[in-house]
Amino acid sequence: MHSITLWTSLLFLINGYFAMEPIILIHGGAGDIPQNRVKGKLDGVKVAVIAGHKILAQGGSALDAVEAAVLSMEDDENFNAGYGSVLNLRGEVAMEASIMRGEDLNAGAVTLVKDFPHPISIAYKVLTDSPHSFIGGEGAKLFALDKGFTTVPPESLISENAKNALEEFLQHGELGRTEIGMKNEGGVGTVGAVAIDKYGHIAVATSTGGMSGKAVGRIGDTPLIGSGTYADDNIGGVSTTGHGESILKYCLAHSIIKLMENGTDANTATKEAVTGMTNRLKNTAGAITLSKNGDVGIYFSSKRMSWAYIKSNKIFYGIEHNQILEDEYRPS
């Protein structure tokens, strides 16, 4: 065999031997999810996790995989992100999203996005094409238009469920507590994804409509790096969901990362930080975590949180406490 061919084959073998098993873990929001929304959320997280895993299985990057999973949930009315986002006090959608690359800690985030269906893709563009990390409101719109994104009428993003939830909030809601006790799902369904690709690179994406009845101009945890999203190839990745004001005060995503950096495993770190936040601030949250070795952490202090991940040709998923459902999965 020619020596160049021999070297190429050897490198291919070494690369194959040391390549990580790619994993994607996603959530579809924590909260007091009513029973009539359970099936839609479980179906939705399975579709989204497959969308992300397909990219990883073809050798794609963790960043592209988390974007694809979140895009799928932004298009799905079962989740509070993109189409189906909950409404502010003026009856408008005002969406937020963030994405982070663990290789170099680069991040992109947007907030107060009103007329684009996929805030996560604009956040991704901020990461790749902007000297800044976080752009909001009119600036986010100008940036998105400049990068070729097309607007949609803001009303086209409003679902019946979101209208009902706002109406219910206006009658019975407690400001800032809309994730708790809403019959029509007042603000549960923030979406997020954490992935590790075959090169061991980690990425995280999170997207939300926030909470029903939020003040005009309110910004929550989701676009804040360290609260809603964090990724570091040297440690792991985290996406959070739940009561935004509490998550941002507690820097929940980074709290989990710090625990892992100090030697705590992904599952224990996720449980300790979420429980710590709830004990301290008396509001609920959930988080999903992958360690740099591909260990999974899932925990929520809310009544429910939909989640799913694909590992070793199986989809694992659930929404209740102590529930792990399992389907066979063969990448096509």
Catalytic residue numbers read 190
Instruction: Phi first, then psi: give them for residue 237, nearest 5 degrees.
Output: -140, 150
Question: CB 134 → ligand GLY: shortest distance, Å?
Answer: 15
Residues 184-203 interacting with ligand GLY (rule: CB under 6 A): 190
Question: CB 139 → ligand GLY: shortest distance, Å?
Answer: 20
Residues 222-251 interacting with ligand GLY (rule: CB under 6 A): 222, 241-242, 244
Q: How many CA atoms lie within 13 A of 45 on its CB side?
A: 32
Measured from the CB atom, the residue of 161 and 241 that comes closer to ligand GLY is 241
98 touches ligand GLY (CB under 6 A): no
- What 8-state DSSP symbol labels residue 155? G
The answer on whether 330 is annotated among ligand-binding residues is no
Measured from the CB atom, the residue of 241 and 291 that comes closer to ligand GLY is 241
Measured from the CB atom, the residue of 231 and 252 that comes closer to ligand GLY is 252
Please name the residue that has the structure tokens 């790096």. 225
CA 240 to chain centre: 7
Residues 31-70 interacting with ligand GLY (rule: CB under 6 A): none
The answer on whether 187 is annotated among ligand-binding residues is no
Instruction: Phi first, then psi: give them for residue 231, nearest 5 degrees.
Output: -145, 130
Starting at the edge strand found earlier in the chain, the sheet holding 191-196 runs 134-136, 106-113, 95-101, 202-208, 191-196, 23-31, 304-311, 314-318, 325-328
173 touches ligand GLY (CB under 6 A): no
88 touches ligand GLY (CB under 6 A): no
H-helix or E-strand spanning residue 304: strand 304-311
The answer on whether 28 is annotated among ligand-binding residues is no
Task: Tell me the window of 5-13, 216-224, 305-313, 323-331 that interacts with ligand GLY (CB under 6 A).
Answer: 216-224
211 touches ligand GLY (CB under 6 A): yes
Contacts with 227 (C-beta within 8 Å, 6 or more apart), sequence order:
221, 240, 247, 248, 250, 251, 252, 253, 254
Residue from the set 207, 208, 264, 278 that interacts with ligand GLY by CB under 6 A: 208
The answer on whether 219 is annotated among ligand-binding residues is yes
Contact 209, 154 (CB under 8 A): no
Q: Which residues are annotated as a binding site for substrate?
A: 218-221, 241-244
Judged by the rule CB under 6 A, the positions of this chain that interact with ligand GLY are: 190, 208, 210-211, 220-222, 241-242, 244
